[in-house]
């Protein structure tokens, strides 16, 4: 069913600039994905399994921060899907950008009819483009792009300096051998995607697309069609030929596969530009029909999401205010036959900065215990284990409360209590 322009269309920039703005948005998002790990905004420390935001590690034990941020992020995404629909697919998603680049290169080197199809039909190459050099250039573009883009996910798991040493073939003790296999897998996945899959992923396999569709409403932004001028579309189909996902833009439904890229709008406006007329297509926000389902409107959707946004904000605020830059635990590793009870103090620095921490033991006399070291220095984030040995022969029978006291140079303090039970006489 065509979506008539019953309400004023969305006042977007002139369509002749729409394609350029969209391409800038796509490359801008790709640049953001590159800069995020390089600038330390976000990455994953594979040694600790922690998220790294700025100079801080966020562990899963930082429950309030992790889940508070997730509630907030998910709530904002739901509202954006409900309002703008699949605009992320057409304006930011790297999959869409790669698909369009791959298709564009094929058109330039093999002809406008060189298209991939889901039924496995062979690519139709223009007669004047049937040159071995064109296939070589196309293959080089695919491989070079894959090798370059495969570095992006690697940056999220390894520090930028390690990745630079990897690219420049320099030795680095922090570079595991598995990094070569990981990079190779990323290269192959991207190569297969850009060479063969492309928009077939968007049309048939993308789970994220299904997730977005689950939150669309009757007021979600769509492509509007001026049915009053439909006679101008007879035997045209120019807008449909511009659609990357093979839709007829004149008949977009709430749950259609439209990516909101706007290329059909650009095509229609370009066709009518010579006549000094506007095209028949535009972005618009339709009005919701009367429905007993209160969640079918943007207002209803916002009311449903608001509690999650509030819970997320409260959890995130609480998590940030109670965040500890250090983690400590003490574990018993058994007793020696020498009469010593052995413990280990696990101390972690969650900040990527140098610091010093002093360890002391309370509840025992000096001759009743021995620390492997009382002063710990961190050059950066990391973990240190310090042995704590209790001399059972000098400790009276019964239950003893031992407190491991830690104090950092920046004012952090924490006491970790240990219940030690001395059994029997030890000779």
Q: What is the pLDDT of residue 119?
A: 66
The residue-averaged pLDDT of 290-298 equals: 53
**pLDDT at 340 > cutoff 70:** no
**What are 216-268's pLDDT values in tens digits?**
877 888 898 998 888 888 888 899 989 988 888 988 776 678 889 999 999 99
**pLDDT at 347 > cutoff 60:** yes
Q: Which residue has the higher pLDDT, 339 or 4?
A: 339
**pLDDT at 427 > cutoff 80:** no
Whole-angstrom CA distances from 155 to 95, 186, 291, 327, 341 are 18, 12, 48, 26, 44
DSSP 362-379: ESS-GGGEEES-SEEEES
Measured between alpha carbons, how far is 406 from 358 in angstroms, rounded to an integer? 6
Among 115-119, 136-140, 273-277, 287-291, where is mean pLDDT lowest?
A: 287-291
**What are 171-220's pLDDT values in tens digits?**
888 888 889 999 999 999 999 999 989 988 888 888 888 777 778 877 88
Q: Which CATH class is domain 326-422?
A: mainly beta
DSSP 5-37: --SPPP-PSPHHHHHHHHHHHHHHHHHHHHHHH
Strand partners, 225: 4, 281
Strand partners, 344: 331, 387
Percent of the chain past pLDDT 70, that is, above it, reads 89
**What are 17-31's pLDDT values in tens digits?**
899 999 999 999 999
Q: Which residue has the higher pLDDT, 290 or 269?
A: 269
Among 45-54, 227-236, 282-291, where is mean pLDDT lowest?
A: 282-291
Residue ranges covered by each domain of the chain: 15-298, 326-422
**pLDDT at 4 > cutoff 60:** no
**pLDDT at 109 > cutoff 80:** yes
Measured between alpha carbons, how far is 113 from 323 in angstroms, rounded to an integer? 58
pTM tops 0.85, yes or no:
no
**pLDDT at 295 > cutoff 60:** no
């Amino acid at each position: 069913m065509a979506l008539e322009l019953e309400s004023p269309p969305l006042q977007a920039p002139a369509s002749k600039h729409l394609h350029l703005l969209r391409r800038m948005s796509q490359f801008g998002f790709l640049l953001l994905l590159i800069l995020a790990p390089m600038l330390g905004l976000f990455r994953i420390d594979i040694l600790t399994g922690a998220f790294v935001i700025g100079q801080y590690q966020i562990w899963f034990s930082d429950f309030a921060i992790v889940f508070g941020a997730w509630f907030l992020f998910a709530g904002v995404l739901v509202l954006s899907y409900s309002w703008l629909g699949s605009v992320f697919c057409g304006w930011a998603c790297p999959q869409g950008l790669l698909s369009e680049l791959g298709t564009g290169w094929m058109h330039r080197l093999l002809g406008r009819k060189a298209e991939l199809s889901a039924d496995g039909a062979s690519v139709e190459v223009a007669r004047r483009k049937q040159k071995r050099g064109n296939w070589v250039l196309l293959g080089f573009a695919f491989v070079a792009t894959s090798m370059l883009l495969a570095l992006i996910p690697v940056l999220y798991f390894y520090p930028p300096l390690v990745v630079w040493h990897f690219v420049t073939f320099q030795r680095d003790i922090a570079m595991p051998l598995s990094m070569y296999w990981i990079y190779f897998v990323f290269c192959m996945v991207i190569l297969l995607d850009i060479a063969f899959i492309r928009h077939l992923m968007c049309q048939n396999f993308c789970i994220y697309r299904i997730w977005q569709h689950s939150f669309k409403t009757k007021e979600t932004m769509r492509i509007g069609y001026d049915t009053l001028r439909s006679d101008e579309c007879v035997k045209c189909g120019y807008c449909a030929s511009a659609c990357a996902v093979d839709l007829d833009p004149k008949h977009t439904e709430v749950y259609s596969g439209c990516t909101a890229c706007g290329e059909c709008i650009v095509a229609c406006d370009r066709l009518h530009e010579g006549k000094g007329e506007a095209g028949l297509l535009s972005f618009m926000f339709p009005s919701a029909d009367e429905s007993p389902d209160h969640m079918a409107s943007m207002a209803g959707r916002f009311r449903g999401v608001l509690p999650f946004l509030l819970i997320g904000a409260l959890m995130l605020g609480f998590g940030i205010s109670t965040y500890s830059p250090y983690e400590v635990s003490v574990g018993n590793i058994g007793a020696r036959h020498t009469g010593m009870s052995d413990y280990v103090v696990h101390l972690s620095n969650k900040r990527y900065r140098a610091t010093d921490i002093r360890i002391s033991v309370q509840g025992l006399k000096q001759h009743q215990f021995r620390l492997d070291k009382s002063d710990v220095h961190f050059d950066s984030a990391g973990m240190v284990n310090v042995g704590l040995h209790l001399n059972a022969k000098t400790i009276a029978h019964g239950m003893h409360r031992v407190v491991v006291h830690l104090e950092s140079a920046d004012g952090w303090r924490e006491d970790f209590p240990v219940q030690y039970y001395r059994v029997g006489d030890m000779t």
